[in-house]
Structure 1
Amino acid sequence: MATLLSQELQVAPRDTLWIADENSKSLLMQGFTFAGDLLSNRWDVAKLAEGKVGRSFFNDFAFEVLERSYRRIVYPVSKEKAVVHHVINRAPHLLEEESGNPGELVLLGGKQSGIKSYATKAAQRFGCAKQLQKHGTEYISCNPLHRSGGEAVDDQNYTQLRPLEELHGLHSKPGLFGWNKIDRGSALLARHFAELTPSDGACVVDLGCGYGYLCAQLAQQGHFHFTATDNNAAALLACSKNFRELGIEGVVVPSNAGAELTSGTADLIICNPPFHQGFQVEGELTDRFLSQTARLLKPGAPALFVVNAFIPLPRKAGEYFSEVHLLAKENGFCVYKLST
């Protein structure tokens, strides 16, 4: 993907918008530079892009902050369908014609990314013929904009936060992994809060907070100060809304596994770490969350982790913690208490 993406970004770069989620990270890590603008819903991608692109923006794909139009938009498709549909819907408003040549949306993706379906929907939205070219294991779809383009595709009202009965009234939105359900692992972890509740006034850090389910559950057990972090802009919007609605004391901040937080300040860390980066399983993510947890905890303070049972957390955690205690194993998930 990196090679194909870099080639597409070199076409009229100053007039190109790069829509970059986590699937674009590898190219930036290779030191790639780009004269155009980059918009990402991932905090680490937007930060990594600073100094390497013309302008770097971090938000939940709120395109109005760009305050300009483009000749080309290049987008390696995201894992979440609603995100891709949102981009397809909004792209025509960002594109401009030059010397009679229409602006175009370029979609890239592997076979399992849904690229063939997205190419069809983009062609319908743009009023153009479907174009899909194969490059090795990757596909590219170029969609020139016809002003008589078609209707918008269903993006599940992407921009709207909403309270959901399935989440017991918590607010969430598309663009967030598992946005409309309670994660089974998180629910299992929350069942142990009553027996492991910290003292009132404790500083609790939630690494990878999502829409804030774990914080909302723990807040029922006492009065604490929460620092909720996530790498995903949609998660930060939803979690902030739930903090306000529930009167939870604390802050919600963008962070790459807590790397931006001050060392040795947490009385308790709660975490349901991701193990996917885009379409790939990424084992290094667990190590990153564990190392940051060890750095952030006060001496002797505990952390509570829940992971899929296939994640070898005891082996990974042994590098950072002297005690790794299995609290529960159920329905393919394991809950661990970690301490130094």
Structure 2
Amino acid sequence: MATLLCQELQNAPRETLWIADENSKALLQQGFNFGGDLLSNRWDIARLAEGKTARSFFSDFHFEELGRNYRRIVFPVSKEKAVVHHVINRAAEFLGEGGELVLIGGKQSGIKTYAAKAAQRFGCAKQLQKHGSDYVSTNPLQSHSGEKADDQGYCELRRLETLNGLYSKPGLFGWNKIDRGSALLAEQFSQCLPSDGAHVVDLGCGYGYLSTQLAAQGNYHFTATDNNAAALIACRENFADRNLDGAVVPSDAGAELETNIADLLICNPPFHQGFQVEGDLTDRFLRQSARLLKNSGYALFVVNEFIPLARKGRDHFATVEQLANEQGFCVYRLSQ
């Protein structure tokens, strides 16, 4: 898909907006330069695009912050349906006369359905062209009042009973449920509590479930990080609502944090990058964890049981101890 995306961007006028999520990372790493603007909900993508695009924006797809309309919007569709529907809906509001939305996706991405949704929203005929295993849907704006796609109330931050009263929103993976792995990790907190006043780093915090669970058992200072803009919004709200002491900051696996700051690090690392399983994600989180921990500190990780964390962890830590193995997840304690 990177080749097709590259072609669409190279042929685009300067008044083009590139909606970039994890599927765009490979293109930016090749040193590709783009004359238009880039908007991403991922911190690493927005940072990587700096100096390679006219302007780079990091937000939860807040189009109004761009301060202008566009002739063309190019979007390699995201894995999250609510994100795609939100972008389709808002694109119709930020395209000028004669503007068009270009959707790009592989066969398994839902691109055929999204092409139909875009056609309804834009008041145009459904268009879909096949290029190898990928597809392009070009949607000229013919109506600003076409039927909107169901984006699950994308912009609404809401308190959910399914999360024990925590706030969350669409655009965040597993936004309306408690992850089984995270719940298993939280169950181990009682036997692994740091001393009061300890500095805890929540790496890949999501909406902040792990931090709020740990905070109920002691007085700690938290630094919570995530790469996803929706996660940061929800986590900040939960920190404020539960009066947690600490900060919620954007970061790519903690790479921007100072070395040797954490007494305890808690992490449920992702293993998917968009539609693909990315093998080195676990290694990146382990490597950064070893750097962030004090010599006396320790990390608590939960991973799917097929992730060989015991083997990978020994490349970065002296001790790797399995604490639990239930329902397809394993919890480990790692220390120097």
TM-score by length of 2: 0.99
Counterpart for residue 95 of structure 1 = 95
1:10 CA drift (Å): 1.5
1:236 CA drift (Å): 0.1
Equivalent runs, 1:154-169 vs 2, <5 Å: 154-169=150-165
1:287 corresponds, among 278, 283, 288, to 283
Distance across 1 between alignment mates of 2:302 and 2:162 = 21
Aligned length: 336
Q: 1:148 to 1:47 in 2, by over 3 A?
A: closer
Distance across 2 between alignment mates of 1:12 and 1:280 = 27
Instruction: Report the residue type matching 1:200 in the other structure.
Output: D
Counterpart for residue 219 of structure 2 = 223
Q: CA RMSD in A?
A: 0.7
Contact in 2 for aligned 1:128/1:149 (Cα 8 Å): no
Counterpart for residue 307 of structure 1 = 303
1:283 CA drift (Å): 1.2
Contact in 1 for aligned 2:121/2:143 (Cα 8 Å): no
1:148 CA drift (Å): 5.9
Counterpart for residue 43 of structure 2 = 43
Instruction: Report the residue type matching 2:88 in the other structure.
Output: I
Where 1:14 maps in the other structure, the secondary structure is coil
Which ranges in structure 1 are unaligned for 5 or more consecutive residues? none
Counterpart for residue 20 of structure 1 = 20
1:152 CA drift (Å): 1.0
Report which of the two has the higher share of strand.
2
Counterpart for residue 244 of structure 1 = 240
Instruction: Report the residue type matching 1:300 in the other structure.
Output: S
Distance across 2 between alignment mates of 1:314 and 1:148 = 54
Give the stretch that moved more between structures: 31-40 or 12-21.
12-21
Query: Deviations for 1:141-166, whole angstroms, at most 9, x for unmatched residues?
Result: 00000026522111011001000000
Distance across 2 between alignment mates of 1:148 and 1:161 = 26
Equivalent runs, 1:151-190 vs 2, <5 Å: 151-190=147-186
Query: Deviations for 1:202-255, whole angstroms, at most 9, x for unmatched residues?
Result: 000000000000000000010000000000000000000000000000000000
Distance across 2 between alignment mates of 1:23 and 1:147 = 29
2:333 corresponds, among 327, 332, 337, to 337
Give the stretch that moved more between structures: 225-234 or 146-155.
146-155
Query: Deviations for 1:44-94, whole angstroms, at most 9, x for unmatched residues?
Result: 000000000000000000000100011000000000000000001000111
Which ranges in structure 2 are unaligned for 5 or more consecutive residues? none
1:11 CA drift (Å): 2.3
Q: Are residues 1:137 and 2:140 paired?
A: no
Counterpart for residue 73 of structure 2 = 73
Instruction: Report the residue type matching 2:7 in the other structure.
Output: Q
Where 1:93 maps in the other structure, the secondary structure is coil
Contact in 2 for aligned 1:124/1:149 (Cα 8 Å): no
Contact in 2 for aligned 1:200/1:222 (Cα 8 Å): yes
Q: State percent identity of aligned pairs.
A: 73
Distance across 2 between alignment mates of 1:123 and 1:146 = 9
